[in-house]
Amino acid sequence: MQLDIVDFYPSITSDLLTKALDFAKSITAIDNDTHTIIMHARKSLLFDKDNIWTKKSNPSFDVTMGSYDGAEICEIVGLYLLNELRTKCNDLEIGLYRDDGLGIMRNQSGPQTKRTKKKITEIFKSHGLKITIECNLQQVDFIDVTFNLQSGKFWPYRKPNNTPLYIHRESNHPPNIIKQLPIMIENRVSSISCDENEFEKAKGDYSNALKNSGFNHNLKYSKQNKATETRKRSIIWFNPPYNAKVETHIGNRFLALVDSHFPRHHRYHKIFNRNTIKLSYSCSPSMSSIISKHNRKLLSN
């Protein structure tokens, strides 16, 4: 069974989010200040020259798309909806990724499937959400993977005319990003391929995209091991913008300052040291985006 929540972000209401937060409070600690901040952040403002854009239904409540905050709101609402489905549809195993859902119903007849489908639709409708739902599927395309129940196999999926495009090898990006890009692609394609045969079928488009970006890397299948849980350290990140024209070793200078001002005998050394402070360069805007932004500013008058 595959479902899609229609217009998920703008369809989330204040009442639905409040119910989701109350559900979350029953599992983990959420204080009143956090609750207030989450609800206050729903007040979004959009300006176009001298005009102010507002939502027609509820101008003071909006879940914006394209931001970390909006994605987290969708996740917490999704968890609340999954809990509703679990309590009311015992014969359904389902997961959600934002607005996409994938589930399995075992050993159900046609009438039973129809009743379950109707029940799911009513659950979402009770929260003001519309869904499209398909049942009795043997193969589905979910996010970037195709799953086949009959063969038990899975392999990479891309929408039609969706050709991969990567940054160029000679672009103005941190060297570590350039170095790791082919390896990250290799690991990702391997992880969504059930075996080496499916990997070899899918790797052609990714290899061509890498070659077009100036990389000379032969993608090879690597069996993915299950990630082991490790203790997470509290890290303070310093993210200076990277530019290849800058000759000063910003990272070395910064870490040398940390060593100099917080030596071992310093009372704050446990907080500020090379294990708790890490450096990762952020990418600067390309010249194309800088020029286009400048042109838009001039032409808008």
Q: Over the stretch 201-256, which tens digit does the pLDDT of each residue have?
A: 999 999 999 999 999 999 999 877 766 667 777 899 999 988 888 889 888 999 99
pTM (predicted TM-score): 0.74
| Each residue's pLDDT tens digit, 118-137 | 999 999 999 999 999 998 89
H helix and E strand count, the chain: 9, 13
Tokens standing for residue 151 = 């063969």
Q: Which residue bears the tokens 């979910």? A: 142
What backbone phi and psi angles, to 5 degrees, belong to 131? Answer: -135, 155
Q: Which residues of the chain have pLDDT under 50?
A: none
Query: Which two three-digit tokens encode residue 8?
Result: 């998920």
Longest Cα separation, the chain: 73
- Domain spanning 2-137, CATH architecture: Alpha-Beta Complex (3.90)
Structure tokens that stand for 176 in this block? 């570590």
Domain boundaries, the chain: 2-137, 141-229, 236-299
